[in-house]
Structure 1
């Protein structure tokens, strides 16, 4: 029998603030509450680096500007998971070092140790962490579901193309409400 986990990816305050959609966090909260009520593990994935970002190469186009930079203490608070969807005791926290939730993290080990073989993906951005995680998880033979309105992207057309045309090749795509109703 398949065992699911809900992945809540990159919903750190600093990221959420760049995607102004007032309905997003309440929808995501519904998915999280549904998962918890059904005993589905909730795994929060955040992007983070050590002080000075020694794991970042200056050659990395996305993260290279952080190489060797000492971020101010206020940056740590801005990088916390948004309080509207904050983790609760028992939730699993994973820190990744690149775009995919698997890159530089222990996510695969956590999933396999807990017998999880079906991932339900949510997060910001659809064209970033969701796409990268979906591709890698598919290659690792996980069963996948994407909650289309549990994902955000700064380009609505890119979001639409990914959720309607690209993701269905490797995942079931549904909405938070449809997924919640099925649980």
Structure 2
């Protein structure tokens, strides 16, 4: 029997603002987190936070070096905080990453393996960044995978749609928050 965890990834103040996430999106994530907690499924938040000055960001990394240059997602900045509409509760876990994937530059794999978790339910912003990179890495690590389609958001609707309809179904079960909650 699979032991699952729900990942809420990059649902941070600045990212929610950039992606123009609405109240309905945040309410769906909160509903998924509440359902997971009620079912005894761990809720793990993954946040990106870069060190001041970017000592661990190569200038060859276009995306991250631009973030450091612009002073975005720096440790301690209020924009890196998890959005209050989906804030962690006691017992939830928060993992900090330094790259796009939830696994890169974090201790996520250690946390999952320590709890014998072998199946992940993915949500987050952006579909074409943290969700895509985490999904690919988790598939390579042999995790069972589910993606909550309406628990993902991307500023580019074409990228979002392509990933959810064409790529993700090859690697994971793709469903909605409501349908997933009904299975718990």
TM (norm. structure 2) is 0.94
Relative to structure 2, which stretch is displaced further, 152-161 or 9-18?
152-161
Q: Aligned residue for 1:13?
A: 13
Unaligned runs of 5+ in 2: none
Find the aligned partners of 1:139 and 1:14 in 2 and give their Cα distance: 30
Q: Is the 8 A contact 1:54 1:67 kept in 2?
A: no
Please tell me whether residue 168 in structure 1 is matched to residue 140 in structure 2.
no
Matched, 1:114 2:115: yes
Structure 2 equivalent of residue 123 of structure 1: 124
Following superposition, the deviation at residue 51 of structure 1 comes to 2.2
User: Partner residue of 1:26?
Assistant: 27
> What 5-or-longer segments of structure 1 have no aligned partner?
none
TM-score by length of 1: 0.94
**Equivalent residues in 2 for 1:31-46, closer than 5 Å:** 31-46=32-47
Segments ≥4 residues shifted beyond 3 Å: 66-75
Cα offsets for 1:88-147 (capped at 9, x unmatched): 111111011110000100001110010000000000000000000000000000000000
Give me the whole-angstrom Cα distance separating, in 1, the residues matched to 2:99 and 2:13.
18
Instruction: Provide the aligned length of Structure 1 versus Structure 2.
Output: 183
- Per the TM alignment, residue 18 of structure 1 is displaced from its structure 2 partner at its CA by 1.1
Match of 1:142 in 2: 143
- Change over 3 Å in CA distance of 1:21–1:14 after alignment to 2: closer
